[in-house]
Amino acid sequence: MKYFFVLFFFFCVFSARALKIDFNHRDPRHKQCVGHNFGQGQINLLNRGDLVDPNCPEYSRHLMCIWKQMGVMNEDGILDKGVITEKIDDFSNSNQEDIKTAQNCIVQKKTPQKTANDFYNCIHNLVKKYNS
């Protein structure tokens, strides 16, 4: 019985610390993520909600890959308003202001990479808020 409580305690601690929006690759990786290595320091920056260089191809590629993996962006590089709304609704416990903020960030750019990067920079405060 003692072991059960210890395991339960660790489960609660690690669950409470889990990121709501995680920019790590998942297995299996999205097909555009295969062979793509992104440093842990860069992933930590994204998970903290820090702004990223909008012209950095590494960040743009990684964000496009992760958004596609999450279903936030489709294979053609189009952001999916329904998925974004659903995810922010879940993270924010239906906070309508945060949902509207995320929806206002859905702006298609000339390339999927630019769209992915600009979308992240637009919602970075939400990432910061819900991942802290």
Average pLDDT over residues 90-98: 92
The helix/strand/coil state of 100 is helix
The angle subtended at Cα 49 by Cα 46 and Cα 55, nearest 5°, is: 60
Query: What pLDDT, in 10s, does the model give residues 26-72?
Result: 666 566 666 667 788 888 999 999 999 999 998 998 999 899 989 99
- DSSP-derived letter for residue 17 is T
Higher pLDDT, 125 or 15: 125
CATH superfamily label, 2-23+38-131: Pheromone/general odorant binding protein domain (1.10.238.20)
Percentage of residues in the chain having pLDDT higher than 70? 77
From 6-10, 74-78, 84-88, 110-114, the region with the lowest mean pLDDT = 6-10
- Exposure string over 71-101, b if 16+ CB within 10 A, otherwise e: ebbeeebebbeeebeebbeebbeeeeebbeb
DSSP 23-35: -S--SSPPTTTTT
Is the bond preceding residue 28 a cis peptide, omega within 30 degrees? yes
**Model's pTM, two decimal places?**
0.81
In the predicted model, is pLDDT for residue 25 greater than 90?
A: no
pLDDT at 81: 97
Q: Where are the domains of the chain?
A: 2-23+38-131
Helical residues (DSSP H) of 71-111, grouped into ranges: 81-92, 96-104
